[in-house]
Structure 1
Amino acid sequence: MIYALREINQRTPRALPNFTLGYDIYDTCGDVSIAIRATLQLLKNQSDPQMCLVPANFQSVLSEPKTKAVIGERYSEVSIAVARVVALSSVAQISHGSTSEQLSRKLKFPSFLRTISSDEHQTKAISELVRKFNWTAVAIVGSDDEYGKYGSDRLEANLRVMKNICIEFINILPGYFSKNTSQVHKMLNELVDNINKSPAEAIIMFTKDTNVNVIMEAAIKHNLNRTWIASDSWSTSSLISTLPGIEKAGEVFGFISKRNELLTEIKKVNFTVNTTRIFFDSNGDPSLGYDILYWNMTESKKGTSIKTIGEYWPNGKIEIHNDFVGNKSREMVTAYNCSKTCEPGQMLKKQSKRCCHDCVPCAEGEFSAGNGDKCETCGQKKYSSPQRNMCFKKTPEFLDWSDPFIIILSCLQVLGIITTIVFAILFAIYHRTPVVKAVGGYLCFLELFSLLVCFCLAFSFVGKPTAASCMVGLPVFGIAFSLCISCILANLLQILVGFNFDLKIRLWIKKLNQPAAVVIIVSGIQLALCVPWLYFYPPFPYERILKTTILLQCHKGSDKLFIAMLVYNAFWALSCFLFAFKGKQLPDLYKNASLITTSMMLFLIIWILFIPIYISLFGSYKQAIESAAILISSYSILCCHLAPKCYIIIFRKEINNENAITEYIRKHFEQKNLTVVTS
């Protein structure tokens, strides 16, 4: 500035004829109080501020003011204080370093001008740099002065509106932060601890260089190794860039108003320098943008070299060297454990930390292709791989014919069908013999038919369930087995009538001894229960979605009607059991009552055990248990009630005649000292 003034005064021809420029220089030490005292000293001989209110033709007796302009201050806080004073005398103030947005308010600071851009543009430039490098978590360190406070506020506002950028914390330092006091040491330790624990990818320092110097010394001491963004107040500070061990603090990006070779030719009084036009807008701010700086601490042997890597213009345009952006964009995970991308099967998700997204495994039934993409559901009919990176179709699960347990059941079913048919043929051949009559005569064929149906129904529980297989399963079994029990009940009544000699009991039982009526009534009531079940609430196939499979089963349609069917059959099975147990003392050569007692007891035990097993069991084997219960129930009748009769027909022909029956009855009553007449 001194050189420029000398050139103006001494150059021939003179740039300002009849004028000689002088200067007074005051060192304000960056202190507001000192700056105000210096300003008052400059203005002590200045004209009365009220002079602007007198008529234009009024001849002033006051001397010409000596101070035409004030150059400075550097810090915004000091410039604001000076601007309030010089505005009273309408003295122009031109600052080379004060960037606070407050100074753009012309109603408050009408005579203030500056040769550096407002912080409004600088904060936008910093925000664009954060977005350019794809940083998602940042921290802001400001100061409690006009520069740091308003700059931090504007920076926060700009970052908040940007997508996918989170502010981890904002720390506003007090005005006395650079002083060496115990309170400052405490605040410094807290700040270092916050930075060390923070996942912030960049620390933005929007404060004066004296504060930054204290923080950087602590960063070097604690080897923080962070990425710092410098505001123009310290981006070119040689005091900080030459600190011993500055490379331990990490890397530094900075902003400085565009420099051009103010600018050294200002002596020509030409506001267009090279290709840059210098002018002031309505707020007294210049049209310059910013150079983006990078502190290179590794290439230079002489220490930190500050180089320009890009530029930012007030219209929002930002340019950074492509190779530099490319290198930074390829950083998949930052040094601060803040993930930018994840392995397949993981997603980025906020957890304990405020800004940082951690890689979290997808939940079961979800998948993510990678790159931190959000986990998506596979859907009900698919399941995720163990790595959660893809989905597989769930396989249908049902009772397959190749299952070893089903093969055993199927063999037993086929054996039961064959045995039932063989028994029917034997009974048909020997239908006139006493043993066939003792088992119920024609009723035994109904009984065998019902057992044949039950054995065949057991196949309906195997294979993929269909509407037909579900409907014929349990409902038809209920009807068929009630027909079987009704035949056994009718047979028991015949035995009790034939061998009971108590006249009162005999007459009462004789009235009930109507085989056809007993079969029709007992099985008819069950039919009346099952037909509405099949019509209104028919069993149907349904899918139950499991982790890796889709369980195909038959839904019973109505649990109440299913239970009613079982209870009804159990009631008549219990009745048969009681009647048969009562008839065990009768002179029955073929042991019908004893055998029926055993078969009914097995039936009751099987279905009593079936209920808890069925409730506790899960999966396709649930239907296998139903099939097994039907199979065992059918075999209990076939083996305990009918098989002994076939044995007599084939191997004990000597007792398959009326004489043998008569002799057996006679001996039975003689042992009890009773005389009986048989016919």
Structure 2
Amino acid sequence: MGAAAVPPVAAGVLLALLPAAGGQSTPPSGCGKDLSSLYYNLCDISAAWGIVLEAVASLGVVTSFVLTIVLVASLPFVQDPQKKSLVATQVFFLLGTFGLFCLTFDFIVGPDFSTCTSRRFLFGVLFGICFSCLLAHAVALNFLARKNRGPRGWVTLAVALLLALVEVIINAEWLIITVARREGGSPDPCQLADADFVMALIYVMLLLVAAFGTAWPVLCGRYGRWHKHGAFILATTGLSVAIWVAWTAMYLYGNQRAGEKPGWDDPTLAIALVSNACAFLLLYVIPEVTHVTRQGPEQAFEDDVYPTRGVGYETILKEQKSQSMFVENKAFSMDEPSFGRHRGSPGDPLAPRRGWRRALGAGDETSGRDPPGIDSCCCCGS
């Protein structure tokens, strides 16, 4: 009886172990055996979208970091004070772009509590930073294109910070309401509805549309050297609008129509992040960095009229030579009327009457004395 009771016990133990064994998935090709299933998309060869986006995002992180250093290092060489005042806002924009490339890895990695929370919060905040900087820059360009004089640099940066802070408050409140204070069930941010995620981005969409609309009047400004900067913002925001319309339609309706609703959501959002961040670099950041040290036509004219002075030996000799020539010319102009210093007849055409008084100072002319003639003393005029 004891021997017959052993097989049922062993069978129960095996049945208890089967779910655990079935839950352990074998690593896909390209991934190590000890790697957690959360990171399979980073190395799965069969899922090429993860590897491609990982490579593009890595390149974008490095490029954003290098461009930030280049922009800050070129600040001492910026001669236009109006362009120099906008560098701080552009650096803030680069920090937001850098964050978008980093956030892409969060969508490639599998979902859990930490990744889903950071996705929901940082997606809107980072895009809010970028679109706020574009809107603030577009507003400053409207003043520059009409008056060639814009607001101070700290004012433009403060406007961008305040606009981005609104999205931070909205997302923080949205997470508190939907996750921390959710009644019933576990507070899992991965279980939130897709429509709620898109609804939390309405303010970001308004910033995008506002930046796109504000960039248009820059092209009609009086000063044409600011038109190209408005064109950079217009091209960037125009392509961003197309990207946002595409990923929103795909995320809400397209994936469900294709029958790939859970599987295509993360690739859709990751592709939207990478493509929009690349558009920021190619259409806005790189052109702005290449134009930040260029001189405007007004500055070039001023440099030609007032050239900078050197401190070399040749410059000192030239200045001394010019000063000596000026002294000689002055002495020549003082000695020039000496040929007419004689007292002639009233009808003599060489009599210096009015011409001499023009050559004398104002004190001699108003004193009423006649000019000294040949027979008069050269010292006292008597």
- TM-score, normalising length from structure 2? 0.58
- Given candidates 33, 37, 41, the residue that maps to 1:400 is 41
Per the alignment, residue 443 of structure 1 pairs with: 89
Letter in 2 for 1:462: I
Aligned counterparts, 1:470-485, within 5 A: 470-485=116-131
Q: 1:394–1:661: structure 2 CA closer, same or farther, 3 Å change rule?
A: farther
1:537-585 residue CA offsets vs partner (Å, 9 max, x unmatched): 249xxxxxxxxxxxxx972636565223322111111111111111123
- Given candidates 242, 248, 255, the residue that maps to 1:605 is 242
Q: What is the DSSP-based 3-state SS (H/G/I as helix, E as strand, rest coil) of the residue aligned with 1:657?
A: coil
1:147-188 residue CA offsets vs partner (Å, 9 max, x unmatched): xxxxxxxxxxxxxxxxxxxxxxxxxxxxxxxxxxxxxxxxxx
Q: How far is 1:535 from its partner?
A: 2.5
Q: Which has the higher contact order (CA 8 A, sep 6+)?
A: 2
Q: How far is 1:458 from its partner?
A: 0.7
Per the alignment, residue 214 of structure 1 pairs with: none
Structure that is richer in strand per residue: 1
Q: What is the DSSP-based 3-state SS (H/G/I as helix, E as strand, rest coil) of the residue aligned with 2:87?
A: coil
Matched, 1:496 2:131: no
Is the Cα–Cα contact under 8 Å of residues 420 and 451 in structure 1 kept in the other structure? yes
Per the alignment, residue 366 of structure 2 pairs with: none
Q: 1:463–1:435: structure 2 CA closer, same or farther, 3 Å change rule?
A: farther
Q: What is the DSSP-based 3-state SS (H/G/I as helix, E as strand, rest coil) of the residue aligned with 2:126?
A: helix
Is the Cα–Cα contact under 8 Å of residues 136 and 159 in structure 2 kept in the other structure? yes
Q: How far is 1:475 from its partner?
A: 1.7
Q: How far is 1:397 from its partner?
A: 9.1
1-structure distance, mates of 2:81, 2:271: 29
Q: What is the DSSP-based 3-state SS (H/G/I as helix, E as strand, rest coil) of the residue aligned with 2:110?
A: coil
Is the Cα–Cα contact under 8 Å of residues 430 and 436 in structure 1 kept in the other structure? no
Per the alignment, residue 8 of structure 1 pairs with: none
Q: How far is 1:404 from its partner?
A: 1.6
Is the Cα–Cα contact under 8 Å of residues 610 and 629 in structure 1 kept in the other structure? yes
- Given candidates 279, 286, 293, the residue that maps to 1:643 is 286
Q: How far is 1:614 from its partner?
A: 1.5
Is the Cα–Cα contact under 8 Å of residues 573 and 604 in structure 1 kept in the other structure? yes
Aligned counterparts, 1:52-63, within 5 A: none
Matched, 1:524 2:168: no
**393-402 or 559-568, larger mean C-alpha shift:** 393-402
Q: How far is 1:492 from its partner?
A: 1.5
Is the Cα–Cα contact under 8 Å of residues 89 and 133 in structure 2 kept in the other structure? yes
Aligned counterparts, 1:163-182, within 5 A: none
2-structure distance, mates of 1:630, 1:397: 20
Aligned length: 253
Letter in 1 for 2:236: S
Is the Cα–Cα contact under 8 Å of residues 461 and 624 in structure 1 kept in the other structure? yes
Letter in 2 for 1:528: I
Aligned counterparts, 1:523-602, within 5 A: 523-538=164-179, 555=190, 557=192, 559=194, 561-586=196-221, 587-589=224-226, 591-602=228-239
Per the alignment, residue 295 of structure 2 pairs with: 657
Is the Cα–Cα contact under 8 Å of residues 138 and 214 in structure 2 kept in the other structure? yes
1:607-638 residue CA offsets vs partner (Å, 9 max, x unmatched): 10112212322233320110110111111111
Aligned counterparts, 1:313-328, within 5 A: none
- Given candidates 72, 84, 104, the residue that maps to 1:428 is 72
Q: 1:573–1:556: structure 2 CA closer, same or farther, 3 Å change rule?
A: farther
1-structure distance, mates of 2:225, 2:199: 34
Matched, 1:466 2:112: yes
2-structure distance, mates of 1:589, 1:510: 14
2-structure distance, mates of 1:537, 1:631: 27
1:314-340 residue CA offsets vs partner (Å, 9 max, x unmatched): xxxxxxxxxxxxxxxxxxxxxxxxxxx
Q: 1:622–1:560: structure 2 CA closer, same or farther, 3 Å change rule?
A: closer
Per the alignment, residue 113 of structure 1 pairs with: none
2-structure distance, mates of 1:436, 1:606: 34
Q: 1:496–1:590: structure 2 CA closer, same or farther, 3 Å change rule?
A: closer
Q: How far is 1:464 from its partner?
A: 2.7
Q: What is the DSSP-based 3-state SS (H/G/I as helix, E as strand, rest coil) of the residue aligned with 1:588?
A: helix
Matched, 1:633 2:242: no
Q: What is the DSSP-based 3-state SS (H/G/I as helix, E as strand, rest coil) of the residue aligned with 2:41?
A: coil
Is the Cα–Cα contact under 8 Å of residues 218 and 227 in structure 2 kept in the other structure? no
Per the alignment, residue 311 of structure 2 pairs with: none
2-structure distance, mates of 1:436, 1:608: 38
2-structure distance, mates of 1:498, 1:641: 18
**476-485 or 556-565, larger mean C-alpha shift:** 556-565
Q: How far is 1:431 from its partner?
A: 1.4
Is the Cα–Cα contact under 8 Å of residues 145 and 227 in structure 2 kept in the other structure? no
Q: What is the DSSP-based 3-state SS (H/G/I as helix, E as strand, rest coil) of the residue aligned with 1:465?
A: coil
Letter in 2 for 1:494: A
1-structure distance, mates of 2:264, 2:194: 19
1:230-283 residue CA offsets vs partner (Å, 9 max, x unmatched): xxxxxxxxxxxxxxxxxxxxxxxxxxxxxxxxxxxxxxxxxxxxxxxxxxxxxx
Letter in 2 for 1:482: G
2-structure distance, mates of 1:576, 1:632: 19
Q: 1:659–1:510: structure 2 CA closer, same or farther, 3 Å change rule?
A: closer
- TM-score, normalising length from structure 1? 0.34
2-structure distance, mates of 1:458, 1:528: 22
Q: How far is 1:452 from its partner?
A: 0.8
Q: 1:449–1:630: structure 2 CA closer, same or farther, 3 Å change rule?
A: same
- Given candidates 251, 265, 275, the residue that maps to 1:622 is 265
Q: What is the DSSP-based 3-state SS (H/G/I as helix, E as strand, rest coil) of the residue aligned with 2:225?
A: coil
Q: 1:510–1:438: structure 2 CA closer, same or farther, 3 Å change rule?
A: closer
1-structure distance, mates of 2:68, 2:122: 21
Q: How far is 1:528 from its partner?
A: 1.3
Q: How far is 1:660 from its partner?
A: 6.0
- Measured on the aligned residues, the alpha-carbon RMSD in Å equals 3.5
Per the alignment, residue 456 of structure 1 pairs with: 102
1:33-56 residue CA offsets vs partner (Å, 9 max, x unmatched): xxxxxxxxxxxxxxxxxxxxxxxx
Per the alignment, residue 183 of structure 2 pairs with: none
Per the alignment, residue 373 of structure 2 pairs with: none
Q: What is the DSSP-based 3-state SS (H/G/I as helix, E as strand, rest coil) of the residue aligned with 1:537?
A: helix
What stretches of structure 2 of length at least 5 have no aligned partner? 1-14, 26-36, 181-187, 303-382
Is the Cα–Cα contact under 8 Å of residues 435 and 590 in structure 1 kept in the other structure? no
Q: How far is 1:646 from its partner?
A: 3.0
Q: 1:568–1:399: structure 2 CA closer, same or farther, 3 Å change rule?
A: farther
Give percent identity, aligned residues only: 17
Structure whose alpha-carbon radius of gyration is higher: 1
Q: 1:576–1:457: structure 2 CA closer, same or farther, 3 Å change rule?
A: same
Matched, 1:515 2:159: no
